Structure 1
Amino acid sequence: MTDDSPTPDLARLAEAHGIATEYWSFFGDRVQVPAPTLRAVLTAMHVDTSTDAAVAAALAEADIAPWRALLPPSFVSRPGARPLPVHVPDGHDVRLVVALEDGSWRDLPIPNQQPVAREVDGVTVWRIEVPLPGDFPLGWHTVHAFLTPFGSAEETAAAHAGLVVTPERMPDPPTRRGRSRGWGLMAQLYSVRSHASWGMGDFADLGDLAAIAGREGADFLLVNPVHAADVTSPIEPSPYRPASRRFIAPLYVRPEDIREVAYLTPTERAVVEAARTPVAASNDDPTRIDRDAVWAAKRVALEAIFVVPLSAGRQAELDAFAAGEGQPLQDFALWCALEEHYEGAERPAEAWDIDSPLVEALRAQLADRVRFHVWLQWICDQQLERAQAAAQASGMPIGVMHDLAVGVHPQGSDAWSLRPMYAQGMAVGAPPDMYNQQGQTWNQPPWLPAALAASGYAPLRDMIRTLLRHAGALRIDHVIGLFRLWWIPEGLSPAAGTYVRYDHEAMIGVLMLEAQRAGAVLIGEDLGNVEPGVRDYLSDRGILGTSVLWFEREGDGFRPPEQYRRSVLATVNTHDLPPTAGYLADEHVALRARLGLLTRPVEEELADADAERTAMLDLLRQRGLIGDAPTEAEVIEALYALNTQTPSQLIGVALVDAVGERRTQNQPGTDTEYPNWQIPLADGEGRAVLLDDLASDPRFTHLTAAVDAAF
C-alpha cells in the first residue's frame, strides 16, 4: 500500500458519504482515488479525517446518525417508488399525518411489516418503512410524526419533515398540429444583435428571434443561460459561471421597453440616448462583445428610468413580485448593492458573511440600491414574459428553452447568501476525456448533498421556478451532475478529483414537479462519460437526453440515424465545438494546437479529423444527401437532413450553422487565452449578421426550410 492509498476505514467513510473511491475513466481505465483527495472532499463535507481515530469515529457516526432521527431531514419520491423511513424507539407507537400543500390533512397509513431493529445510544430503535399511496397528490407537503408510549394516550414527541411527491413521468413535448416531433433554433443570445440593441443581444432580441424562427416552423428557441452575472466590472463572460442561478441578468434588459420610459422628461430621455449611442455603434462589429461597456451604458439608463414614479397599478405589481420572491430576492439585491459599494476596493472579510453585523448595517445603509436591484429583477421578469409571449404568438408550441448552468461563481450571490449549501475548498469540473485531455475545472463550488436534503431542496425548487415562469422548456447542462459531480480539491489538477453522488431521485423529482406545473419540457445534456443506467433512467422519466451528430460513433464510422435514441434533442454540434463550417475545416484541431491544449502531435489529431470527416461524407453520399463535390453550405444542410432522419423527438438547428459562422464560442480548458462567450454572430466572411436581416438571409431561410420540410 502506498502513502496515497486509502485505509479501509477511510474508503468506507468516503463511500458512506457518497464519495467514489474508484471509477472507470473515459479511456476505460480503472482509477483508484488517492487518500489525499478523499480526505479533502470529506473535510469539505465537515467530516473530521485528521487522524485514524477520527476516521473511525466519523464512520461509526455516519452509520448510526439516520437511526437517531424519527424522520429524515426531507423526503422526495414518486408514489410507490421508495418508502419513507421512520425510526421509532422501543415501547412507542407512531402516527403519521401529512399537511398537504392545499391546507388539508391526510393520514399516512403504516402497513404491517417486520421492522429492523438496532441499538442506538442504549435504546432499541425500530426502522419501519412507509410507502406513499399511489393516489397521493403531487406537491410540496409536510409529514408529521407523533410518538405515543405504549399504554398511554398522550403523544410525547413529534417531528416533521418536508415531503415532496413528484411525477412518475413527464409527457412528450408538445408539437405543432399534425406533427409528432419538433425542431427549434439554438443561439447564444448575447451574440444575436439588432440595430436596436445596446451592443449585445437582449430580451427584446430574444422575442424577435423567437418570432422569426416560429414563422419558419420552429417549435422552440434554445438560448444560453441568462442567469444573473456581475453588476460591476469586469463582468464574467461565461453564462455558465453566473453569480446566481436563481435570478436573472439585467444585462439583457432593453431599457426603452420599460413602460416608465414614456414618462421621462426630454432631458432624461437625452441621458438614456446618450448612454446608448456609443455601445449601439458596435452592433455591427463582428470582433467581440464588450459586456462591461454594455452594462456601464445600461446602468446609466436604468438608473434614470428607475427614479420615475410608478403608477398605483405598477407599484402593486412590483410589490407583489417582491413579496413572491421573498427574502432570497432581498439578499440577492443586497449582494448587488455590496458589489457596487466595494467596487474597486477590497471587501473586508466580515462583508463576506451575510449574517455579520457589518452586512446588517449595510443592508440599511444601501436600502436605495437594494430597491433598485429588486426593481431590475421585476423588469427582467416582465421582459422575459413578453419574449415567451412573442414565441407563442409565432406558433411555437414550446417557445423559449432556457439553459440551466451546472453551478455558480465562488464569489457570487448564491455562494454568498447560501454559503452553508456549498462545499468550501472544492471546484466542480470533469475528468480527462477525448476532447479535453487534461480534464476541466469550472471553478464553481458544488452543492453539499446533505445540506440540500436538510433544506428540503428549496434552493433547487426556487431556481427552477424562476427559469420556467416564462419558458416552455429547460435544458440542464451536465445533467449527470444531478447524479454525481466531479469534485476537485482546491489547488489540484482536474485529474486529481473524484465523483460525489447526489440523491438523483430527489433532484430529478423536484425538477419534474416544477416542470410539470409550468407545462415545460426537460432536456438533460448527457454527453461524455455517463455512468450506466443514467440515460435509461432519464428516458423512463420522460426527460430527453442530448445527441450530437459528431459523437454518434459506431466502430470506425457513424451510427445510422435510425438507431438514435428517440428521447433526445438531436443536434449537429455543441457550443464547445466550432460551428460546423469551422469543424469541417479542422478548426477544432487548429485552435487547440494554437492554445497548447493537445496531448498528441497535431499531425495525429489532423489525421483523425480527416478520417472522421471522410467517414461522415461517405455516409452522406450513401444516403444521397450530397454529390461528389458539395459546397460547404450543401454539406451543412445534408448534415441537418441526416439528423431529421433520426427518431429523435426534438431536432436543434444551430443559428451559427444557418449563417455560416466558423468561430467557436467556447474552447474548454481556456480562460483568457481565448475570448470565450464573447463572439458576435457573423457569417463565413466575418461580417456581422444582424437580427434585422436574418429573415431574408438566403442561407438561413434555405436551411430552416429544409429542416421544416422534413417534419
Structure 2
Amino acid sequence: MNTAPTAPGTSRLDLARLQALAQAHRIGTSFSGWDRQPHDVAPETLVKIIAGLGVKAGTDELLDAALEDAELAPWRRMLPPAVVGRAGTETLVPVHVRHGEPVRLWIEAEDGGRHHPVQRDLWVNPRLVDGVLTGRATFELPRDLPLGWHVLHAASGDRHTKATLVVVPQRLTTAAPLEQRRGWGLAAQLYSVRSKRSWGIGDFADLADLAALGGGHGADFVLVNPLHAAEPAPPLQPSPYSPSTRRFFNPLYLRIEAVPELAYLKRKLRRQVDELAKQVHPLNLDAGKLDRDTAYAAKLEALELLYAVERSPARQQSFEAFRAQQGSGLEDFALWSALREELGPEDPFWQDFGGPASVAAEQARARLADRVGFHCWLQWLCDEQLESAQRAATAAGMRLGVVHDLAVGADLASADAWTLRPVLVPGMSVGAPPDMYNQQGQDWSQPPWHPQRLAEAGYAPLRDMLRTVLRHAGGVRVDHILGLFRLWWVPEGNAPGDGAYVYYDHEALVGILALEAERAGAVVIGEDLGTVEPWVRDYLAERGILGTSILWFESDDAGAPLPPEAYRALCLASVNTHDLPPTAGYLAGEHVRLRDQLGLLNRALTDEQALHEEALAAVLDLVRRRGLLPADTGRLPDGQVIEALYRLLAQSPSVLLGVSLVDAVGERRAQNQPGTRDEYPNWRVPLADAEGDAVLIEDLAGDARFGSLLAAVEESLRRRQPA
C-alpha cells in the first residue's frame, strides 16, 4: 500500500485515498512550480487544508469516513445549498427525497412572482443513505426567470426546505457601448493625489476634481486604488490591498469641509477645525513620504466635533435610512471598529468575543452604542461623498466615472475576519505558490472564503460586498480575478510555498459578480496578469468581463513585443502597473537598481540591467517602426517617449486604455516594490513631477506635460475608433 507520512501523532495514510479525498473537496494535489515542473502537495498540507474545511482525515479510519461523507453529502440534502443559473439556459436541480415519495418545487421570485420548475425524466438509481433508501429527482428551472435573487422551495411529505436561487446574466452587457466606441481614463492612487485643500492625503473631493479635469480632456473614467476601510484609528496599514474590510470605505478619504454639519459648528469649535486643517496643510507640499497617521488623527478629531452637531430632521432621517439599508453588516463593522478603538490593535478580542452575535458582543454593542453610531455615521459620510464624486465625473462627460479596485481579501485580524467568520476558513491564509518572481511563494495573511459555507449562506456576503462597492461607481477592477476560480491556501505554520490550490465554483462567483455589475450598470475589469490558463481568459471574455494588458508584459511565443493589433479587444490596456515604477522610471531602469539595493535580484545587477535594456530596446524598436519616434537612437525626452508608447497602445483594439497619472506628470518612483515591507515606503509615495516637486490638483490644469499626454491619447484613440 502506498502510504504517506502525516503530522506527528497520526498514522501513515494511504496516499491515493488522501488525494482522492482532497480532489473530492476540490483541493489540488499538485501544482506547477517556479521551475515549471509539476510538484506534489505534501500529504501533511493536504490533511491541514482538509481539516480547515471541517473534515478530519488524520487517520485511516477518519479518512474512510470522510470519503464516504464526501460521496453522500449531496444525497443528505433535499436541495443544494444554493443554485446559480444563467438566464435563458438550461439549469437542472437535483432533489433528494425518500425513494418513491413525490416532491413539489416552486420559486418565490424577487419581484413577488411565483414560478414552477418542471420535473425531467432522468433516472438515477436510488441509494441507501444513513439507513434510508433515497432517490433523486431532477427538475429544470424555467428559462424565463428574471435576473435576481429568488428562493427555491421543495416539499415532500412533512419535509420542507428552501435554498437561495440566483439567476445571473448569460453575459454582462455593460461593456457593449465600449465595443462601439472605445474609451480611456486616468489611473491614480487617490491617497497620493492632493490639492491645496487636502489634509495631507488625497480625498473624495480631490477625486471629484480629478474626474472633472480628466472628463474635460475626454476621459471616460478614473480608476483608483482600493478605498476599503483600514483601522479605525492610527496607526494605519498603508497598503490599500490589506484592508480591515472590503465592503466599507476608509474615512481617511473624507473631506472635512464637505460635511454639511460644519456650517453649524459653534464658532469656537469651528476655529478648532480650522486650526487642525492649518496644522496638516503643509503636508500637501511634502513630496517625500505621505503621513497617513498624522492626517487621519487630525481628521478624526474634527469628525468627533462634527458628529456632536445636531443634524437637521432631513439629515437625521437620511442617516437612519442608510443604517437600515446597510443592515447588520454595517452595524457589525461599526462594532468591530468601536472594540478595536477601545482595546487597541494588540488585543485579539475576537478570540474572547466570539462572533458579532455572541453574548459578549451584544453586551459590548449596548455599552458602545454611541461609538457604533459614530462609525456608522462615518460610512454614511463616505457614501455621500462618493456619490458626489461619481456625480461630478458623469457631469464632466465621463461615460463610466469612478472605477473602484477590489482587493483579494482582508487581513487575518480584520473586521471581515471577525464579522464574516462563519464563511471564512480559520487557520488558513491566501497567497501564491513559488514562481519565477518569488521562489519562496507568498503569504498575503488573508483568510479565504470557505466554498461550502459561502454557498450555504446563499452567497449573501459576496453580494452585499459587491453592492456596496458598486453603489456609486461606473466600474470595478477585481484584483487577482483568478481568485474566483482558485486560491492558494497556506495553512498556519507552513511556509508560503507549502500550500495547495483550492478550487471554487467560478460559475457561481463570476455569475454573481456579473449580476451585481449588470444591476449597477458597471463595467468589470479582471486583473488577469501572470500565469493564467487561456481558458480562464476566454471564459471571462464570454461573460463580458474585461481582462488586463500591460505593454511591458505583452509578448509573443518567442518573447518579442506583441504587436498592439494582437491585444485582446475586451480589455483594459495600459503601459504600466502600480507594482512597477512609472514609465519615466521604467525607461531609466529604476526598478532594477532598486531591487538590487534591496537584495531582491536573483542575478547579478549587470545581467539584470542587460536583460532590461534588451527588452526595452525591442519595445522602442517597435515604436520606431510604427513611425511614432524618430529613427535615430539618440536620447529623447522622457515625455516624448511616453507619449509615443501611449500612441502605440492606442493602436490596439482594447476597448479601454488606462493612462497612469504618474506618467502624465513625470513621476519616477514606484508606489509599491513587491517583496518588501518597511524596506521601501510602499503605498506612501506622494504624486511628484520629474524634478521631485509635489504636484497638486490645482497644478494639473496648467501642466503642459499633463495636457500634452492626455491630448495625444484622446487624438490617437479617436482616429482608431471602430467603423
TM-score by length of 2: 0.95
- 1:11 lines up with 2:19 in the alignment: yes
Where does residue 313 of structure 1 map in the other structure?
314
Q: Which amino acid aligns with 2:100?
A: G
Please list the CA deviations of residues 405-437 of structure 1 after superposition, one character each: whole Å capped at 9, or x if unmatched. 000011111111111211112111112333334
Deviation at 1:601, TM superposition (A): 2.5
Residues 1:650 and 2:656 are matched in the alignment: yes
For 1:578, the equivalent position in structure 2 comes to 581
> Following the alignment from structure 2 to structure 1, what is the Cα–Cα distance between the partners of residues 200 and 344?
23
One-letter amino acid matched to 1:66: P
Paired residues for 1:42-441 under 5 Å? 42-79=50-87, 80=89, 82-147=91-156, 155-173=157-175, 180-343=181-344, 346-348=347-349, 349-351=351-353, 353-441=355-443
In the alignment, structure 1 residue 569 sits paired with structure 2 residue 578: no
Identify if the C-alpha distance between structure 1 residues 43 and 185 changes in structure 2 by more than 3 Å, giving closer, same or farther. same
Q: CA deviation at 1:116?
A: 4.0
Moved more, 510-519 or 604-613: 604-613
Superposition deviation, residue 49 in structure 1: 2.0
Matched, 1:669 2:675: yes
Looking at structure 2, the residues matched to 331 and 313 of structure 1 have their Cα atoms a distance apart, in angstroms, of: 25
Offset at residue 246 of structure 1 (A): 1.0
Task: Please point out which of 607, 615, 618 is paired with 1:615.
Answer: 618
Give the SS at the match of 2:128: strand
Deviations 1:583-639 (A, max 9, x none): 111122222222222222223222211111111111111111111233211111111
Gaps of 5+ in 1: 148-154
Paired residues of 2:121 and 2:138 also in contact (CA < 8 A) = no
Seen in structure 2, the aligned counterparts of structure 1 residues 574 and 352 have a Cα distance that, compared at 3 Å, is: farther
Residues 77-102 of structure 1, C-alpha deviations (whole Å, 9 max, x = no match): 21325422222320211111001101
CA distance in 2 between counterparts of 1:623 and 1:129 reads: 59
Q: CA deviation at 1:124?
A: 2.7
Query: What is the CA-CA distance between 1:353 and the residue it aligns to?
Result: 4.2
Residue identity matched to 1:488 = V
CA shift, 1:339, in A, is 1.1
SS at match of 1:495: coil
Aligned counterpart, 2:642: 636
Moved more, 620-629 or 701-710: 620-629
Name the residue aligned to 2:686. 680
Would you say the 8 A contact 1:350–1:356 is kept in 2? no
Alpha-carbon distance, 1:705 to partner:
0.4
Secondary structure of the structure 2 residue equivalent to 1:507:
helix
Instruction: Quote how far apart the aligned CAs of 1:30 are.
Output: 1.2
**Does the 8 Å contact 1:232/1:343 carry over to 2?**
no
Equivalent pair of 1:436/1:668 in contact (CA under 8 Å): no
Within 2, Cα distance between the matches of 1:84 and 1:402? 35
Q: Distance in 2 between matches of 1:36 and 1:277?
A: 58
Partner amino acid for 1:645? Q
Say if 1:6 and 1:35, in contact at 8 Å, map to a contact too.
Answer: no
Mapped partners of 2:572, 2:403: distance in 1: 12
CA distance in 1: counterparts of 2:484 and 2:596, whole angstroms: 33
Q: Distance in 1 between matches of 2:440 and 2:674?
A: 10
Query: Secondary structure of the equivalent of 2:283?
Result: coil
Residues 26 and 529, structure 1, Cα contact 8 Å, conserved in 2: no
- Contact residue 30 and residue 40 of structure 2 kept, 8 A: yes
**1:424-503 aligned within 5 A:** 424-503=426-505
Q: Give the conservation status (yes or no) of the 8 Å contact 2:196–2:281.
A: yes
CA distance in 1, matches of 2:82, 2:525: 26
**How many residues are aligned here?**
703
Once the two structures are superposed, residues 56-89 of structure 1 have per-residue CA deviations (whole angstroms, 9 ceiling, x without a partner) of: 2111101111111000111112132542222232
C-alpha distance in structure 1 between counterparts of 2:111 and 2:708, whole Å = 51
Q: Does 1:696 align with 2:697?
A: no
| Match of residue 588 from structure 1 | 591
Counterparts of 2:238 and 2:195, CA distance in 1: 20
CA distance in structure 1 between the aligned counterparts of 2:260 and 2:308, rounded to whole angstroms: 13
Tell me how far apart the structure 2 counterparts of residues 401 and 204 of structure 1 sit (CA, whole Å): 15
Q: For residues 205 and 223 of structure 1, what CA distance do their matches in structure 2 show?
A: 12
Distance 2:276 2:138 in 1: 64
One-letter amino acid of the counterpart of residue 514, structure 1: E
Percent identity, please. 53
Q: Distance in 1 between matches of 2:354 and 2:240?
A: 23
Q: Distance in 2 between matches of 1:496 and 1:330?
A: 37
Contact 1:175–1:182 at 8 Å: present in 2 too? no
Asked if the contact 2:107–2:114 (Cα under 8 Å) also holds between the matched residues in 1, the reply is yes
How far did residue 365 of structure 1 move?
1.1
Greater CA drift, 315-324 or 590-599: 590-599
Amino acid at match of 1:210: A
AA partner of residue 659 (structure 2): V
